[in-house]
Amino acid sequence: MKLINMIVDGKPRLGILTEKGVVDVSTVRPGSEIPCTMMEAIRMGRENALPLLQMAENLATRYLDESTITYAPAVDAPSKILCAGVNYRAHIEETRGSFEPSGVPTIFAKFNNTLAPHKGKVIRCRSSKKHDYEAEIAVIISKRASYITLDQADEHIFGYTLANDISARDLQKATSQWIPGKTCDTFCPLGPCIVTADALDFDKMHITGYKNGELRQEGWSSDMIHDIPALVTFLSGCCTLEPGDVILTGTPSGVILGRPEDQQDWLQPGDVLTVREDTIGELTVTIRDS
């Protein structure tokens, strides 16, 4: 099932993307037990939410045109946004050997101020001159996870969406910690929808990234050094994961930082970035100065 977090009358509402259009769940819910926001659905968990949402889809008689939707970030109120760095071998190679894979993931964080929606804008940070893109698959947690085992990871995943880990490379490199270059406002576009985990194999996702229509990045989730169950398991041993938490899983090669210095075309106002995965769809944002 594909779920959209959208804005209706100034408030977030849950939409179901169908072949006929988008169902606004709040207009067809026959009882209060059916979730009408994304966070309500996530907190219910897949096993409880999906039958109710299927009921809502079956009852629908009106559909919104997807092109008219005002999107919200796929998850608008995560308690944590945790990110895996250098999680594709080709990306490590293109960063000129700055990093070496190890037995545990490299982890950093973003915060809620970084969230931006599909078809939204990314605002360049005035403290940086080197803005970069990173096409990524994002995992949405649906059940509290603390010290779980590897074989328990799947039951704690609600679904998957796309992210663009926008990075201010000069700020990222200014200290030994990456957070200054990763947490600027709007630096985590998230969308366009969440595909529930029952409809997508974690190790068969094909991800691509485009700058102004030019293919820049391509990879498969099977190429991750630490795969999605391993990331969820590892992080659950560091902190308790809560429903709605987001995990960014790393980016394939092709970032601007990895290009020769004379070809590093850092992001400028008007640049259009698209992240694509064959099942999830396309997340597109435009770079702006304000």
For the chain, the C-alpha Rg in angstroms (whole number) is 18
CB neighbours (10 Å) of residue 113? 12
Q: Does pTM top 0.85 for this prediction? A: yes
* Cα distance between residue 165 and residue 59, in whole Å: 38
Sheet arrangement for strand 281-288: 121-123, 281-288, 272-277, 206-211, 214-220
| Token pair belonging to 281 | 């769809």
Helices (H), 27-95: 38-44, 46-59, 89-94
Domain map of the chain by residue range? 2-68, 81-288
For residue 245, which of 73, 3, 35, 77 has the smallest C-alpha distance?
A: 77
* Cα distance between residue 2 and residue 194, in whole Å: 6
Pairing relationship of beta strands 188-196 and 214-220 according to DSSP bridges: unpaired
Q: Does domain 81-288 have CATH number 3.90.850.10?
A: yes
Encode pLDDT of 97-118 as tens digits. 556 666 899 999 999 999 999 9
The b-or-e profile of 164-179 (16+ CB within 10 A means b, else e) is bbbbbbbbbeeeeebe
* Cα distance between residue 256 and residue 164, in whole Å: 13
Per-residue pLDDT of the chain (290 residues; tens, 9 = 90+): 999 999 999 999 999 999 999 999 999 876 668 999 999 999 999 999 999 999 999 999 999 999 999 999 999 999 999 999 999 987 777 776 556 666 899 999 999 999 999 999 999 999 999 999 999 999 999 999 999 999 999 999 999 999 999 999 999 999 989 999 999 999 999 999 999 999 999 999 999 999 999 999 999 999 999 999 999 999 999 999 999 999 999 999 999 999 999 999 999 999 999 999 999 999 999 999 99
* Cα distance between residue 290 and residue 4, in whole Å: 26
- DSSP helix/strand/coil, 175: coil
Pairing relationship of beta strands 121-123 and 281-288 according to DSSP bridges: parallel
Q: C-alpha distances in angstroms, 211 versus 26, 152, 162?
A: 36, 37, 16
Please return the burial class of 94, using the count of CB atoms within 10 Å of its CB with bins 0-12, 13-18 and 19+: middle
Q: Would you say 153 and 142 are in contact if contact means Cβ atoms under 8 Å apart?
A: no
